[in-house]
């Protein structure tokens, strides 16, 4: 055993479970690629101000959970706690919004970091796949992203998730609600930090998960009662488009997200099998974020789906993913046959066949155990006598049938068997 362990709140992905994470990432990304979203990858760390301005200084993410560091040159950086601000920064820096028709549609996959209280389903290092549609204010984009996330989850076989939907209004109608909510919150029995947060961004208090706070919020004023006509019409069109696509959702007038940049449409995907950490993903519209980080007005919408949470949800439902075997052929070299067998394995790989072989000079019994553990459909076994006759033994691992195959016909014989 190593002297070192993975840091608290983090995890290692190792086979065979890592294959499940890869399958989830691919399932989420597939419908995005099919809908015009291009892949983007950003650094694991950014300027601290990108998040303090964009995500919000009053959020727990920035004020309590962000990993920060100072470089030797004195720059203040932060490990990225979320993806949207980084992707928008990258799009602005590359002037993607000036290079063609809007919206710019991007998706990403990677690791993110928050100093949270480590518990099941909530880690300090976690994986997400996200999507952003930048530069267009259109209810169809909001609906599209909700539908694509639903499609991704269902393609994995996930069933017991719910979609919660709400509108947070905009700069026209939210100020009046903000004042009403602040007046309500001042009359509650809240601790000093929560009251301070209420003065900075009262919607953040609605996202407080503590039972003693939520109990007092039962009669809180609802934002939907303060929406302007434009926001009401926008929200109704999003609802209509999602409904027309056959995607079921629940209206949740108390739903807010933990980031300051959200406006209008906001949504969350929750799963009942995850306990208190029920959210598997979420997102919404962030029409003012570009200006917050120094860019032009670019109304945008996006989401991030947690790979870790999705895997836990699949396990809670008992869903077994159909993960393709990683090895089609396993080769065993006996006696002095290793150079020839190694060459055959290389030839199979170049022909597009997944192949592995036994290493370390194991005997036939030990090598065939390795073949069984690999999950290979076929085994190629060759010894000195086989090579003298110009053949190898090709064995079907399921039926046990074994035939002699000429060396120069192995690739074609393997392809036929696998087909």
Known binding-site positions for L-histidine: 82-84, 114, 128, 132, 257, 261-262
| β-bridge partners, 162 | 270
For residue 129, give both structure tokens. Answer: 């796949």
Can you state the percent helix, strand and coil of the chain, rounding each to 5?
40, 20, 35
Q: Report in angstroms the alpha-carbon separations of 13 from 10, 152, 201, 313, 321.
A: 10, 22, 38, 17, 17
Q: What dihedral angle (degrees, nearest 10) is formed by the CA atoms of 26, 31, 33, 35? A: -170
188/216 Cα distance (integer angstroms) = 7
Buried b / exposed e over 394-411, threshold 16 CB at 10 Å, is bbebeeeeeeebebeebb
222/87 Cα distance (integer angstroms) = 32
Whether residue 89 contacts residue 42, with contact meaning beta carbons closer than 8 Å, is answered with yes
> Quick one: which of 361, 347, 299, 260 has its CA closest to 88?
299
255/271 Cα distance (integer angstroms) = 15
222/211 Cα distance (integer angstroms) = 19
Residues of each annotated binding site: 82-84, 114, 128, 132, 257, 261-262
The secondary structure element, H or E, covering residue 129 is strand 125-134
């Amino acid at each position: 055993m190593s002297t070192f362990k993975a840091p608290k709140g983090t995890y290692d992905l190792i086979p065979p479970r890592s294959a499940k994470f890869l399958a989830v990432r691919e399932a989420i990304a597939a419908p995005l690629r099919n809908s015009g979203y291009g892949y983007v990858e950003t650094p694991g760390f950014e300027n601290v101000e990108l998040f303090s301005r964009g995500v919000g200084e009053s959020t727990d993410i920035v004020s309590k959970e962000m990993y920060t560091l100072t470089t030797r040159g004195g720059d203040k950086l932060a490990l990225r706690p979320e993806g949207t601000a980084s992707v928008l920064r990258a799009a602005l820096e590359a002037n993607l919004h000036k290079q063609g028709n809007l919206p710019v549609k991007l998706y990403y996959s990677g690791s993110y970091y928050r100093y949270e209280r480590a518990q099941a389903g909530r880690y300090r290092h976690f994986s997400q796949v996200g999507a952003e549609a930048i530069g267009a204010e259109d209810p169809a984009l909001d609906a599209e992203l909700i539908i694509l996330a639903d499609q991704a989850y269902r393609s994995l076989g996930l069933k017991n998730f719910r979609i919660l939907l709400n509108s947070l209004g905009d700069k026209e109608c939210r100020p009046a609600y903000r004042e009403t909510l602040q007046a309500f919150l001042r009359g509650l029995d809240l601790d000093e930090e929560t009251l301070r947060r209420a003065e900075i961004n009262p919607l953040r208090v609605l996202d407080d998960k503590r039972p003693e706070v939520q109990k007092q919020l039962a009669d809180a004023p609802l934002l939907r009662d303060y929406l302007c006509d434009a926001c009401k019409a926008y929200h109704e069109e999003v609802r209509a488009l999602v409904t027309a696509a056959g995607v079921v959702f629940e209206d949740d007038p108390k739903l807010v997200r933990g980031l300051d940049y959200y406006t209008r449409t906001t949504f969350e995907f929750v799963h009942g099998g995850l306990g208190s950490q029920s959210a598997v993903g979420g997102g919404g519209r962030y029409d003012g974020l570009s200006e917050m980080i120094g860019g032009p007005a670019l109304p945008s919408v996006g989401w991030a789906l947690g790979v870790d949470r999705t895997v836990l949800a699949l396990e809670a439902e008992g869903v077994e993913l159909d993960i393709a075997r990683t090895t089609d052929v396993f080769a065993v070299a006996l006696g002095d046959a290793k150079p020839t067998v190694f060459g055959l394995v290389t030839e199979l790989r170049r022909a597009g066949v997944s192949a592995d072989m036994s290493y370390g000079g194991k005997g036939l019994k030990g090598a065939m155990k390795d073949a069984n553990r690999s999950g290979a459909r076929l085994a190629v076994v060759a010894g000195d006598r086989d090579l003298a006759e110009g053949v190898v033994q090709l064995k079907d691992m399921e039926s046990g049938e074994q035939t002699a195959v000429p060396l120069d016909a192995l690739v074609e014989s393997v392809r036929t068997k696998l087909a």
